[in-house]
A = this chain, B = another copy of it.
């Protein structure tokens, strides 16, 4: 039986496993190659550097939460309800990732600290989704006539305690849901026509 071809996807899956086992500080490209039974040169043919591999694995990991949020952004129905659902889904996804997948979350935090373009792109994707919801609400007369992208950035900034990984230690504290609801109420009221 010929060996399974070495694809970027297989490498990224192995990288996730290796990161979960050793953590971002200790995991190496050699560990990834060993897990796949190939030479580290074979890995480098697909990802030019350890940095490129770290960015790609985090991008894939973040994209898993994009899909569900993107569906909410493009759904039908009143914008106010969709915006609250979107912010709630984002907060829940981040909490889950921080709690259940600490090593990949730590990898993400490292990239945040390095101002990585992957993190930058993730934020832009999130703000675009928010802008789509707001644009819909403005179109239906539900929201006042704001410029959607400016308003989306303001909503993103105003809700950052509930999605910025720097606040992860606060996400399990008592009262965090009440604080989240209060910010949602304030923001939604601020957009209301």
Contact = CB atoms under 8 A, between A and B. Distances in A.
A116 interface: no
Interface size range of chain A in the complex: 20 to 34
Copies in the complex: 2
A154 B185 contact: yes
A1 to B, nearest CB: 53
Summarize A's interface: helix, strand, loop or mixed: helix
A151 interface: yes
Contact of A187 (B151, B153, B179, B190): B190
Contact of A186 (B158, B161, B179, B185): B158
A150 interface: yes
Contacts of A154: 179, 182-183, 185-186
Contacts of A153: 179, 182
A150 B182 contact: yes
A155 interface: yes
Nearest to A178: B150
Contacts of A46: none
**Pairs of residues from A and B, 10 with the lowest C-beta to C-beta distance, nearest first:** A190-B190, A154-B182, A158-B158, A186-B190, A189-B190, A154-B186, A157-B161, A154-B183, A166-B166, A157-B183
Contacts of A159: 158
Nearest to A189: B190
